[in-house]
Chain A
Amino acid sequence: MRFILKFGLILTIILVATSILLPPSYGLTFPREPGPDTDKQVRTNHLQYLEENQPQIVLMGDSTLALGLDPEALAQQTGKSVYSIAIPGSASALWYLILKNNIAESSYKPEYVLIVFRDSILTAPGYRVHGSYFELVDEYARRNEPLFIQNSFVSLMNPLEIAAEKYFPLYVTRTQIRNRIDAGIRYLAPPYFGCDENCVDYSLGEIFLGADLEPKALVNAVGAAESSLYTPDQLDFESQVDRSYLPEMISIARENNIKIVFVRIKVETANSSADPQLANYLQSLRAYVKDQDAYLLDYGEDPRLTHELFRDVIHLNEDGKTLFTQMVADGMKNIFTGK
């Protein structure tokens, strides 16, 4: 036990020292509100585009939208001007922030906002907001975004994390400290071989964003990244919906006289006919959207989107894009005519 007391004493010294030194270094005061700090800047590029070009339809989604729906073809087929906000790596938190801080703030309001999503992503507020995704999301967040912080961070924390976030400087600054350690490792050896920090960043960017993945590894990587969308908790629609951005997105659209259309795109990572929980989730989602007088175009199980039309397990290829665009155009025409 004496040894544990020695350990406790030294650990206490470390914690006291870090509690004194870290807050001023990172501009923090304690106790603080849990969750990350968003910066003051808000990107308004979409707001400006809306005001200048006044598109009638705005598409919003991630890479599945970028690779799955052709805005020009959709404009031709629907006879309405289309603007696509397709941001790879985005998810419901970012779509909510763009809707709130760009589309709703614009003096021009589009007639329709189409949100292209897959399976449970609309009720997954913590999906793609951590790590490097945070920088992306933060671009569209204001200094004070209580719903964003609550839904995407605090509501997903356990009591220990909340306490640590409030009172424990070493824990709060862990990401920055870890980034420093990682940078130390990353930039240590390459300069001896003529590769400076920019060169290292460029190489790593090429490697980690490159598409030269072994096919099985690609499927595994996508499957691992998507797996959090299919946990039993995540597929419990009733418990997830109120802590998601779905009610707020519908409400913002309604307040701004925008018709919001949720477009479910097909992916090959899951199949509701083989997953009763997903089937129940989707049934609840349909009922909810209908109840809120919003629209849902569900192509998640559409047999026309065959395996041959996918470039990988979640993205359509060019042929798939052509067909899917046609399908969405047909769906939109039905909405225009009130069918």
Chain B
Amino acid sequence: MAFTSYDFLLFFFIVFVLYWAVRERRWQNLLLLAASYYFYGSLQIWYAVLLGVSTAADFLLARGMAAQPERKRFFLWLSLFVNVGVLAFFKYYDFFASDVIAFLSTLGMRPDLFLTSILLPAGLSFFTLKKLGYMLDVSKGTLKPTHSFVDFGLYVSFFPQIVAGPIDRPQNLLPQIEGERSWKSENITQAFPLLLMGFFKKLVVANSIQILVDRVFGFAQPSGFLLLSGSLGYTLQILADFSAYTDLSRGVAFLLGFNTVENFHQPYLSLTPADFWNRWHISLSTWLRDYVFFPVRRALLRYKLNEKLAMSIPPLVTMFISGLWHGAGLNFVVWGLYYGVLIAGYQLAGIRGDWKPASRIKTFLAWLLMFAFIVFGWMMFRAPSLGWLFNVIICSSFIPTQNEFILALITLTATAAYSIPLLINHWIDNRAKGTWLQAAFYAIVAALAVIYINSTSSDFIYFQF
């Protein structure tokens, strides 16, 4: 049930009416929990079962930590083992599935029916990090475990976030779940631009550019120029697609009275790699910063390691894990390490995340260099395989054939054309917020969304992670 589907519209309408009709917080939470499990179970019923069992396990383990502080570490390791184990099993299952099937077949068993139908549950990567963050905070004593299973269950399964985040922290979402919520007109005024731009970015921008990008990355061996144009297209597509999902998620949450975490802050205006990760998929970046980067750095400082090593290892480890989290393919791992190397390299050169160049020219050059790094990163991320990318870079000519040149031109034109509304939105947000100009822009955006509505919308890219 995608946010842009009629089924979701119907589902949300019913939930919305009932939710504000019941008014009492306890019943509202119970309703949202039921709705979240229905929403998630509608993808696959066993997804909901897996979610329910793993949520119950973590709830009990967290309660165990509070009741028996002396066994805290045991409960934490058990939770880490179960959560990371489940995530790793589903995420990397494809790597070993064929070997397992072959092995069982040699024993005379017919495992195909069950094993070939195992798929990564949508959103597993997201809600696992939510639960892990909760468990780590409870174990550190920075968060008191909640007494209510309904509240904890809702925190984990909250339907606007379950499939593709944002990965809201318990410190932000749980107090809102535990607190009273009343209907305010701000719910609509805050939700409205997010929902409108979310629809627009998904239906108009991401879906349109996707057709061209898929074709470029579908070539057996495209020219370098075509690959570059496709990578620029994908740079726009992934931002529009993923930020659209976040916008819709936050918009829906606002309509239910929740203020959930922001996930993007103009990431392509970054000047450094660290700056980029402070602006891109912010909820994941901050999670990795708090639960991987800082602990690794603290550990290294404890061992009084060489300063350069102490500076380089944490970003490498953090971004390696980020790459693994994004997918089982080698290109995701290399993509993660690539950012690790970039962050470490910038830091060793004395350029931190909050670096501000002295002049406009330097700022522009820093931006241009970082943008080139970003585009190359997405090229790796989108490539069918690293071997494919290596082959194209090493063996292909940069000069395209006539047909490739035309496709590259159209891809570049489309990328530029579909970027314009996003740039206008950015400008209006900064310079003309709340004016007639912004109202007119949104009205045009709404009309364009109607024109681009297609009953067969492709899924959000980040669902697969």
Contact = CB atoms under 8 A, between A and B. Distances in A.
Tell me, yes or no, whether A binds B. yes
Interface of A: 1, 3-4, 6-7, 9-11, 13-15, 18, 130, 156-158, 160-161, 168, 170-171, 174, 177-178, 181-182, 185-186, 188-190, 193, 195, 199-200, 203-204, 206-208, 212-218, 221, 228, 273-276
A174 B203 CA distance: 13
Contacts of B385: 216
A174 B450 contact: yes
A171 B455 CA distance: 12
A1 B451 contact: no
B307 to A, nearest CB: 44
B342 to A, nearest CB: 28
Contact of A203 (B112, B406, B413): B406
A181 B444 CA distance: 14
B258 to A, nearest CB: 20
A189 B412 contact: yes
B310 interface: no
Contacts of B219: 212-214, 217
Contact of A170 (B189, B220, B447): B447
B452 A178 contact: yes
A274 B113 contact: yes
B117 A185 contact: no
Given A130-B456, A174-B453, A221 B117 contact: no
A7 B447 contact: no
A199 B406 contact: yes
Given A6-B436, A158-B6, A185-B413, A15 B447 contact: yes
A186 B410 contact: yes
Given A156-B455, A188-B413, A206-B403, 4 more contacts: A204-B407, A214-B219, A215-B220, A218-B218
B98 to A, nearest CB: 14
A213 B188 contact: no
A1 B434 CA distance: 10
B112 A207 contact: no
23 contacts: A3-B434, A3-B439, A4-B192, A7-B442, A11-B446, A13-B443, A15-B447, A130-B455, A160-B6, A161-B455, A168-B450, A174-B453, A178-B451, A186-B413, A193-B405, A195-B402, A203-B406, A203-B407, A212-B220, A213-B218, A216-B385, A217-B219, A221-B218
Interface in B176-222: 185, 188-189, 192, 208, 214-215, 217-221
Given A130-B456, A189-B413, A11 B443 contact: yes
A174 B452 contact: yes
A251 B402 CA distance: 51
B419 interface: no
Contacts, number: 123
A144 B322 CA distance: 57
B259 interface: no
Closest 10 CB pairs of A and B: A217-B218, A6-B439, A10-B443, A203-B406, A11-B443, A158-B6, A203-B403, A7-B439, A174-B451, A189-B409
A157 B455 CA distance: 9
A6 B192 CA distance: 13
Interface residues of B, number: 49
A214 B113 CA distance: 29
Interface of B: 6, 9, 112-113, 116-117, 185, 188-189, 192, 208, 214-215, 217-221, 384-385, 388, 402-407, 409-410, 412-414, 417, 434, 436, 438-440, 442-444, 446-447, 450-453, 455-456
Given A170-B450, A217-B384, A7 B443 contact: yes
B402 A171 contact: no
Contacts of B406: 190, 195, 199-200, 203-204, 207
A163 B160 CA distance: 28
A213 to B, nearest CB: 5
Contact of B417 (A9, A185, A204): A185
Contacts of A208: 215
B76 to A, nearest CB: 39
Given A18-B447, A190-B409, A217-B384, A207 B403 contact: yes
Contacts of A177: 451
A231 B417 CA distance: 35
A160 B450 CA distance: 12
B220 A214 contact: yes
B371 to A, nearest CB: 21
Contact of A274 (B9, B116, B409, B452): B116
Q: Which of B112, B388, B438, B446 has the most CB of A within 10 A?
A: B446
Given A11-B446, A15-B447, A206-B403, A190 B410 contact: yes
Contact of B410 (A6, A189, A217, A276): A189
A208 B411 CA distance: 14
A329 B288 CA distance: 63
B401 to A, nearest CB: 9
Query: In this complex, which of B116, B188, B214, B439 has the most chain A Cβ atoms within 10 angstroms of its Cβ?
Result: B439
Given A3-B438, A4-B189, A11-B446, A214 B413 contact: no
Contacts of B188: 1, 4
A208 to B, nearest CB: 7
A182 B448 CA distance: 13
Contacts of A274: 112-113, 116-117
Contacts of A4: 188-189, 192
Given A170-B447, A174-B452, A273 B439 contact: no
Contacts of A1: 185, 188-189
A216 to B, nearest CB: 5
Contacts of B455: 130, 156-157, 161
Nearest to A213: B218
B112 A273 contact: yes
Contacts of A178: 451-452
Nearest to B453: A174
Most buried by B among A156, A160, A203: A203
Nearest to B385: A216
Contacts of A157: 455
A214 B218 contact: yes
Contacts of A193: 405, 409
A213 B446 contact: no
Contacts of A161: 6, 455
A188 B411 CA distance: 11
Contacts of B6: 158, 160-161
Contacts of B413: 185-186, 188-189
Contacts of A204: 406-407, 410
A108 to B, nearest CB: 40
A195 B413 CA distance: 15
B263 to A, nearest CB: 24
A157 B402 CA distance: 41
Nearest to A211: B220
Contacts of B417: 185
Contacts of A199: 406
Contact of A207 (B192, B215, B442): B215
A9 B436 CA distance: 10
A18 B452 CA distance: 15
Nearest to B185: A1
B407 A10 contact: no
